[in-house]
Each structure stands twice: as C-alpha cells, then as structure tokens.
Amino acid sequence: MLQLKNIQCQYDGEPVINDINFHVNEGDICCLLGPSGCGKTTALRAIAGFQSISQGEIWLGDTLLSKPGFSLAPEQRKVGMVFQDYALFPHLTVKQNICFGFRKKSAAEQNRIVGRLLELVRLSGVENRYPHELSGGQQQRVALARALAPAPQLLLMDEPFSNLDAELRKSLSLEVRDILKDLGISAILVTHDQEEAFAFSDHIGLLYHGALQQWDTPFNLYHEPANRLVAEFIGRGRFLPGIVTGPNSINTELGDLHGNRAYPWQEGSPVDVLLRPDDIILSDFGGIAATVEKKVFNGGATLYKLALPTGSTVEALLPSHRDFQIGETITIEADVEHLIAFHKTEPVAATA
C-alpha cells in the first residue's frame, strides 16, 4: 500500500536519511525504531508531506506522494498524523478538535462521526470538555480520534506515547493497536523504545545514522539480525569469541554451540557469537563456573552479569526463586537455538 523507493532527505545539503526502501501492506502496523537523531522523524515527515525528498519516490497505492521537485500537499495525501505533544487546539472543545478536518459536513454528520470515534477510543461523554480538562492519556485518545476522523488510508504516529507514564504507555499502545487492527488501518509508529516497538508492530525498520539496517518482523530482528549493528542494538546480549567447526556449529568457551542457521565460513574461521540472556541456563552437570558480578531483580526473573574464567562476560535471565549473591560462583551452560555469529573481520559498530 505504501512504498518508499530509494528515499533521501537533506538538511543544508547534507543527507539525513539515504537510500531508504521499504513497503507497508494493507492493514499492517509498522515501526521505525532507532536512537535519537537517526532520521526516524524525518522519514515520517517525508511520508506526511512536511519534508521534501531529494531522491526517490513515495507512493500510497497508485498515488505518487513525493519525488524530487514534487510534493502532494499533506491534506491531499489521505494520511493521518498523531504527534508527540498531541497538538490539540487548547481553545477548542474535544468535539471541535475532532471535527477540525471536516468542518464542512452537516451538524448531524459531525455528531455521528464524533460520537462513533469517542466510543471507539472509550471517551464517550467528553465532547464538550477542553484539552486542559483531560489527562494526558485522554488527550492522546482525542488526538487519535482526530487523526482517524477523515478516514485516512495510513496513520503516522511520532512518539505518541512518550509523555505518558510507563504503565499507561504500555496499556494505551496496545489499545491503539487493537483499534487500528479492528479498523484495518495501516500505520507507522516512530519510537526509540524497543519494547513498545515489539509489542505494537507487525514489521520494524531499524534506522541508524540515516540508513535502514533491516526491515523485518520483530522475531527476525531479534533472532536473525542482518548485521552486527542490529544484533547489538536489539535486545540484550554479549559476544563471545568462537571458532567455526561446521556450517551450524561453533566452539566457544561455553562448549560447542549448535543452531538452526547455517553460515558459509570455512572451518577454523574466527567469529564472535552473540549470546542472549535467555541463551544461558543453570547447569546441574558439567557446565562452566561463572561469578556473579551484577544482578537486577525483575520480579519473576533476575538478570545477572556473569564473569567467565577467561574474563569474558555473559548475561543470564534466571528464575528469581533462586537468589544468587554478588561474588557467588554458579555453574552455567549455553542452550542456543538461534545461533547468531559474525565473522571476526566484520567491524564492530558502536552500540547506540
């Protein structure tokens, strides 16, 4: 439904995003994820029509939205926008805010649309209140209703939940996802929060320094990262040195690791293996002695930083029923299903 083809945007003659390619299918909810300054909002503004492009094309279905020297006006794009600061008009009521994009409709039609949208976002009865009389979560719901009022083909959301507390942020993001899925509206969310991106999105694009590193499902981003930068940015984990012993086996300090992914490197090739906290388990027989260096209690599980005999470190997410102390030695092993490794010659990216 939406296609970005080799998009480039510039500020003062310098590319901010470059060669961005991805597409969004009908009904898909997608996310642009990355650290501050990576170009996420610039890409979103280009889709919305607030930012010109210096290279490539943007299409919504059969409609050309942007190319160098041409930009369809934002109000003609059938694209809705929800901003980080809600951008509600403080002097207008909730009803007037929602009706702002279709003020030429009859009063009866306005009332019908406002009533349906407020019921959809669970705010029935507040149409005559002003934004300052609402909580942050309620204001964001109104902003969503206003963006949905013109029945857009695509909804864009720029860090829409960042001003909310953690619990409300999580619950509201899931509610918004359910609403969009029920309506069949495609959407793109911009966020730097991985947990939010994983819970909200069907597909995620990781942006870093203006380049799209990988566009994939949350599962594949975590378990099949396209490069070392993606592997380091997504989730938690530590790299251990290893030696390739077969297409899908690598020998490390924690023993021979086998996975369901084959690599083309010759036997004996030096590699770095990414071990996620859930790859490390306690070992009752054999295993490797590791010393607890740090611990973070998370309720049902505790995240440990463990030092191995060589000085290398790994992280382990272990059930919290057993409470290991700093300095205590425990015996661990690796239980790896998705073997993630990178050749030693591949440069190490700076972790964002």
H, E, C per residue of 12-77: CCEEEEEEEEEEECCCCEEEEECCCCCCHHHHHHHHHCCCCCCEEEEEECCEEEEECCEECCHHHC
Residues 292 and 217 grouped into a single domain: no
Residues 333 and 220 grouped into a single domain: no
pLDDT (0 to 100) of residue 348: 46
Across the range 161-176, mean pLDDT stands at 88
Residues 282 and 191 grouped into a single domain: no
Tokens of 229: 């930068």
Across the range 295-305, mean pLDDT stands at 95
Is the per-residue pLDDT at 71 higher than 90? yes
Contact 223, 338 (CB under 8 A): yes
Is the per-residue pLDDT at 352 higher than 80? no
In a domain, residue 58? The reply is yes
Angle subtended by helix axes 166-183 and 136-148, to nearest 10: 20
In a domain, residue 130? The reply is yes
| Helix/strand/coil for 140 | helix
In a domain, residue 348? The reply is no
Is the per-residue pLDDT at 6 higher than 50? yes
In a domain, residue 351? The reply is no
pLDDT tens for 186-229 read 999 999 999 999 999 999 999 999 999 999 999 999 999 999 99
Across the range 70-76, mean pLDDT stands at 95
pLDDT (0 to 100) of residue 110: 85
Across the range 295-319, mean pLDDT stands at 95
Residues 36 and 163 grouped into a single domain: yes
In a domain, residue 350? The reply is no
Residues 149 and 270 grouped into a single domain: no
In a domain, residue 352? The reply is no
CATH of the domain at 40: 3.40.50.300
Q: Which of 168, 197, 229 is the last residue of a domain?
A: 229
pLDDT (0 to 100) of residue 163: 83
Is the per-residue pLDDT at 350 higher than 60? no
Domain housing 57: 2-229
pLDDT (0 to 100) of residue 87: 86
pLDDT tens for 26-53 read 999 999 999 988 999 999 999 999 999 9
Is the per-residue pLDDT at 90 higher than 50? yes
In a domain, residue 90? The reply is yes
Residues 218 and 242 grouped into a single domain: no
Residues 219 and 244 grouped into a single domain: no
Contact 77, 60 (CB under 8 A): yes
Give residues with Cβ within 8 angstroms of 20, minimum separation 6. 4, 6, 7, 8, 39, 43, 56, 211, 212
Q: Which of 229, 251, 270 is the last residue of a domain?
A: 229
In a domain, residue 249? The reply is yes
pLDDT (0 to 100) of residue 106: 84
pLDDT band at 168 (very low <50, low <70, confident <90, very high): confident
Residues 218 and 241 grouped into a single domain: no
Is the per-residue pLDDT at 351 higher than 50? no
pLDDT (0 to 100) of residue 107: 86
Residues 194 and 321 grouped into a single domain: no
pLDDT tens for 230-286 read 999 999 999 999 999 998 999 999 999 998 888 889 999 999 999 999 999 999 888
Residues 203 and 324 grouped into a single domain: no
Residues 209 and 114 grouped into a single domain: yes
pTM equals: 0.89
Q: Which of 229, 251, 274 is the last residue of a domain?
A: 229
pLDDT (0 to 100) of residue 63: 97
Across the range 303-314, mean pLDDT stands at 96
pLDDT (0 to 100) of residue 345: 65
CATH of the domain at 303: 2.40.50.140
DSSP track, 144-208 = HHHHHTT--SEEEEESTTTTS-HHHHHHHHHHHHHHHHHHT-EEEEEES-HHHHHHH-SEEEEEE
Residues 206 and 273 grouped into a single domain: no
Is the per-residue pLDDT at 103 higher than 90? no
Nearest to 190 by CA among 178, 202, 204, 179: 204
| pLDDT, mean over the chain | 92
Report the domain count for the chain.
2
pLDDT (0 to 100) of residue 346: 53
Is the per-residue pLDDT at 136 higher than 70? yes
